[in-house]
Structure 1
Amino acid sequence: MTTDTVPGDAAVAQHKMTTRNVNVYYGAKQAIKDVSIDIDMDNVTAFIGPSGCGKSTFLRTLNRMNDTVASARVTGEITLDGEDIYASSMDVVQLRARVGMVFQKPNPFPKSIYDNIAYGPRIHGLATSKADLDVIVESSLRRAGLWDEVKDRLRDSGTALSGGQQQRLCIGRAIAVEPEVILMDEPCSALDPIATAKIEELIHALRGRYAIVIVTHNMQQAARVSQRTAFFHLGDLVEYGVTTDIFTNPREERTKDYITGRYG
């Protein structure tokens, strides 16, 4: 694996999340092989690679979503601000508030637009009054680029929105619990080009406020939205570095073959 930084170097203190020698197994099958990577606050990090290469599986290790799969087993170390997220003392509910997930298919709750956003702050005790909740809902919808489109129909069902609006609602829902990291698993794959462009604009707007990791099958999208790119193939992290370098001057032959369309 080629990387333009050395895991464990002096810059590690600046990394929001670090992974060291991570392996993921589903039963006897190994899906991720010895992956070490750093995720920063000031960069959007894209995971790319052909279908079945392990990029979404690895993404799910970052907030322990694989815990929901009975056959899954994760080894190695993953830290958030230096704290081992797989330690027995880690509160998984709190971890998933700190490391939010936006899925491939928009999945708003069968509730109003308002209640979709308010749900997390309510259960995590982030608002002490209706006025506090109103502020969180408006702020989250504004940051998700959706407020102006829905401010007059907050009591309408979230499921009545268009696909692109639903996905931005889900991003707003993740933002509402004050996360530190946002994981996005192919968030635009079910959307049309106009909705996709809005999500990409939103990612640019959110950069720096949160550490953002996006899995995408669309190499052009990775080039547009990310500053760092990791290329996965058959469970291996083949290459990780500055996005422009990965796309214009890859160091690994497998990366070059994928970027130039020889397989995928």
Structure 2
Amino acid sequence: MAESDTIPKMSARGVNVFYGEKQAIQDVSIDVDLDNVTAFIGPSGCGKSTFLRTLNRMNDTVASARVEGKITLDGEDIYGANMDVVQLRARVGMVFQKPNPFPKTIYENVAYGPRIHGLASGKADLDQIVEKSLRRAGLWDEVKDRLNDSGTALSGGQQQRLCIARAIAVDPEVILMDEPCSALDPIATAKIEELILELRGNYAIVIVTHNMQQAARVSQRTAFFHLGRMVEQGPTTEIFTNPREERTKDYITGRYG
């Protein structure tokens, strides 16, 4: 898309998030684009997952949550009155920390979204979407002969790739990943990281991770969060080798975290 040269895929300006009286996020501004994987790093409870959830309005599900500031997708305000939230969540997919396949077959896990969004004109079309999504998630060869087995019967790493296939199946523009590897073993983690690198450029990808080595491996841009604020952001190599802020340096060198 040529427009990504000028307009970032997603843009946040002056975002504050409150849960009741408590402020969880203070004045965060960042752009997310198609060409770079963006990583959010920082200690537990620093607000990185809370901020991630504002990007597809997942905080709407929390009664006490209030979001201020402006977040746009292709220049359109996602908190605007005209924004269809169901449509937004199809365009901005989410992969959670713990793999959460539906208690359905592998096939139905992937077919579910395209079916409810009317993206397939018939069974053959749906079969094609399911295969393509599973291929993109690096899972097709492992499951092609067992599409009618339950998604929950897969290993943890396979379940997480199934969830990524499910997110991809509705043809999103952005994929948000909230610590997608924290429940996985090193081999499964390596597969997910490989997948993130392959998906880059097709989708704008944002990943929240506790694992700094992972951020260094998969992202091109990194934002460091601390106590509800974004302390700094920039090219990943710079953040890791030459951070401007003392707090970033302390976190990266392991003084706290």
Q: TM-score range by the shorter chain?
A: over 0.9
Distance 2:198 2:178 in 1: 18
CA deviations 1:123-180 (Å, max 9, x no partner) are 0000011000000000000000000000000000000000000000000000000000
Paired with 1:15 and 1:76, the residues of 2 have a C-alpha distance of 17
Q: Which residue in 2 is equivalent to 1:61?
A: 54
Q: What is the letter of the counterpart of residue 225 of structure 1?
A: V
Stretches (4+) displaced over 3 A: none
Once the two structures are superposed, residues 96-141 of structure 1 have per-residue CA deviations (whole angstroms, 9 ceiling, x without a partner) of 0000000000000000000000000000000011000000000000
Shift of 1:14: 3.2
CA distance in 1, matches of 2:200, 2:5: 20
1:256 aligns with 2:246: no
Whether the aligned pair in 1 keeps the contact of 2:7 and 2:75 (CA below 8 Å) is no
Q: CA deviation at 1:12?
A: 7.8
Match of 1:3 in 2: none
What one-letter code is carried by the residue in structure 1 that aligns with 2:95? V
CA distance in 2, matches of 1:102, 1:209: 16
- Identity percentage of aligned residues: 86
User: Counterpart amino acid of 2:203?
Assistant: Y
- Report what 1:197 is aligned to: 190
The runs of 5 or more residues in structure 1 that have no matched partner are 1-10
Q: What residue identity is the alignment partner of 1:144?
A: A
2:12 pairs with one of 13, 19, 28: 19
- Alignment partner of 1:59: what SS? helix
Cα RMSD (Å): 0.8
- Which residue of structure 2 aligns with residue 235 of structure 1? 228
Distance in 1 between residues matched to 2:70 and 2:6, nearest whole Å: 16
| 1:154 paired residue number | 147
1:97 aligns to 2:93 (yes or no): no
**Separation of aligned partners in 1, 2:29 and 2:193:** 27
Structure 2 residue 26 is the aligned partner of structure 1 residue 33: yes
Task: Please state how far the C-alpha of 1:57 moved relative to its aligned partner.
Answer: 0.1
Question: TM-score, normalized by length of structure 2?
Answer: 0.98
Structure 2's unaligned 5+ residue stretches are none
**1:71-95 Cα distance to aligned partner (Å, 9 max, x none):** 0000000000000000011000000
- Note closer, same or farther for the CA distance 1:233–1:45 as it changes in structure 2 (3 Å cut): same
Kindly indicate whether residue 239 of structure 2 is the aligned counterpart of residue 246 of structure 1.
yes
Aligned equivalents of 1:246, 1:44: Cα separation in 2 = 14
1:14 aligns to what SS in structure 2? coil
Q: Is the counterpart of residue 78 in structure 1 residue 71 in structure 2?
A: yes
Instruction: Tell me, in whole angstroms, the C-alpha distance in 2 between the residues paired with 1:177 and 1:76.
Output: 28
How do 1:93-132 residues align onto structure 2 when only pairs under 5 Å count? 93-132=86-125
Residue 12 to residue 145, structure 1, CA distance change in 2 (3 Å):
closer
1:216 to 209, 229, 232: 209
What amino acid sits opposite 2:176 in the alignment?
Answer: L
The SS at the match of 1:15 is coil
Q: List per-residue Cα deviations over 1:6-56 (Å, max 9, x = no partner).
A: xxxxx9833100000000000000000000000010000000000000000
Q: How many residues align?
A: 254
1:235-259, CA deviations, whole angstroms, 9 ceiling, x for partnerless residues?
0100000000000000000000000
User: How far did residue 228 of structure 1 move?
Assistant: 0.1
Query: Structure 1 length normalisation: TM-score?
Result: 0.95
